[in-house]
Structure 1
Amino acid sequence: MSDFLARLEATFGNCLPEALFYNFDFSLRFELSQRGDWPTRILQACSRARTILDSLPTADDEWEVVLASYGEDFASSLAGFAPELLNIYGCEKEGLRVLGEIYVDGEFQRSLVTLDPPPSTSACLLAAVAADCPALVSPFPASPYLIDWQREVIVWPYDDRGMDVVATSRATLQPIYDRFRQWLLESDLARMDSTFA
């Protein structure tokens, strides 16, 4: 296990499980956009994601950005992708650093890489919410996670529909639950209310 994966395990109790929201006691799942045309959905999703992120007490340069991909040996496979696919993150392929590969019960799950220099959080949010709309943004085969090690928070904007925010402490998420409850995903609202209401 890499040092990065060991740190994830020690801090959060797991290594970025696929169903992030369902694997933490303290977790929120936000609905970022509703029906409409692509530009409307992307703009609404970016606005909501940015507002939620800004409500957390983490400075923009304190987030560590980790990209997760379902391709084994993801960093090496990038040789087959056009360099402009990384443009949205503002980095070059040479800036990718492999963090490790996640296996569950001996089965490959995802490759994890980080970027140097770290991309802006706004670039990460846009890349995530526009991932299913190649007419707006070139699709990039990875999903960004933002990690605040000091406050023990992970933010995962999974696409234009939603974003998970998880923490090891209820107190960390209580203010954003109180402030943005109207944006929480209705299908999981009972679970969140039972923890934070």
Structure 2
Amino acid sequence: MNLQLEIERIFAGKAFARPLFYSHPGGLRFELSETGGMIEQFLTAVSKATKICRDIFVDDAKLVACLRIHSGSNRFAHRPQIHALRSAGINLPRGCSIWSEMRDRDEWFCEKVPEFWVNVAFEAPATLLQALLWCALAKDFGVIEPKPKCAVFLFNLNKHAMVFPYDDRGMDVVGPNKDLLSQLYRQHHSWLLDHDRHTMDNTFA
């Protein structure tokens, strides 16, 4: 399976649009971290994200993960992230999909030097779900390792759903599977982000 083509097909070429929740009407946005010290906030975020994601990947032996790396002018500068994943017990299989995309010109540091996003998509056992969420949420915590320092997207391509834990504060879940999203809305209603709760209520209540 060509993961790049499947991701682009299912999510209409907008899988990596930011902010994801506003780019995919009818999605969900969850609040993760709560009060407390840095470590407590991080562990709470990982725990809540894991519980939500287990309801997305229930009965699935595998999931698809995609690293999205800002590479500057080097469109294949993804080796440090792969090494960080290995230290978390996540080994990329052979045959993973790797592709690059040029960033918008107005986002370049120097207008004469193009910058790229590098995407590395691969299948992983669902048992690695918590490790992948750890890596996704650790990127803004200086004292927590391992952290690949990149965005991590998780896909259930069979159920047409994707998850983006954008930092310890929140996580977006979007996709054309409205039945699954409605189920998540009911099961985890208390964790919906209050700022966008009205929008979600209008869709699912």
TM-score by length of 2: 0.80
Matched position secondary structure for 1:34: coil
**1:163 Cα shift?**
0.8
Deviation at 1:167, TM superposition (A): 1.7
2:118 is matched with which residue: 95, 99, 111? 111
Q: Which runs of 5 or more residues in structure 2 are unaligned? A: 107-114
What fraction of aligned residue pairs are identical, expressed as a percent? Answer: 26
Matches within 5 A, 1:1-20: 4-16=3-15, 17-20=17-20
Which amino acid is the alignment partner of residue 54 of structure 1?
A: R
Matches of 1:109 and 1:193 in 2, distance apart? Answer: 37
Q: TM-score, normalised by structure 1?
A: 0.83
Partner of 1:175: 183
* 1:11 alignment partner AA: I
Q: State the one-letter code of the partner of 1:101.
A: S
CA distance in structure 1 between the aligned counterparts of 2:174 and 2:81, rounded to whole angstroms: 33
User: Counterpart amino acid of 1:114?
Assistant: A
How many angstroms apart in 2 are the aligned matches of 1:71 and 1:173?
Answer: 33
Q: Secondary structure at the match of 1:43?
A: helix
Task: Map 1:126-145; keep pairs closer than 5 Å.
Answer: 126-145=134-153
Contact (CA 8 Å) 2:66, 2:119: kept in 1 or not? yes
Deviation of residue 100 (structure 1)? 1.6
Aligned to 2:112: none
- The answer for the alignment partner of 2:28 in structure 1 is 28
Asked if the contact 1:67–1:144 (Cα under 8 Å) also holds between the matched residues in 2, the reply is yes
Structure 2 residue matching 1:14: 3-state secondary structure: coil
Q: 1:82 to 1:10 in 2, by over 3 A?
A: closer
8 Å Cα contact 1:75/1:98 also seen in 2:
no
- Report the CA distance shift for 1:83/1:190 in structure 2 as closer, same or farther (over 3 A): closer
- SS of the residue 2:139 aligns to: coil
Unaligned runs of 5+ in 1: none
2:39 counterpart residue number:
39
Mapped to 2, the partners of 1:171 and 1:37 lie a distance apart of 37
Distance between the aligned counterparts of 1:71 and 1:106, measured in 2? 14
Matched residue type, 1:99: I
Q: CA distance change for structure 1 residues 50 and 82 in 2, over 3 Å: closer, same or farther?
A: closer
C-alpha separation in 2, matches of 1:83 and 1:7: 22
> Contact 1:89 / 1:124 at 8 angstroms: preserved in 2?
no
The one of 124, 127, 130 aligned to 1:122: 130
Q: In the alignment, residue 7 of structure 1 is paired with which amino acid? A: E
CA RMSD of aligned residues (A): 2.8
CA distance in 2, matches of 1:155, 1:143: 11
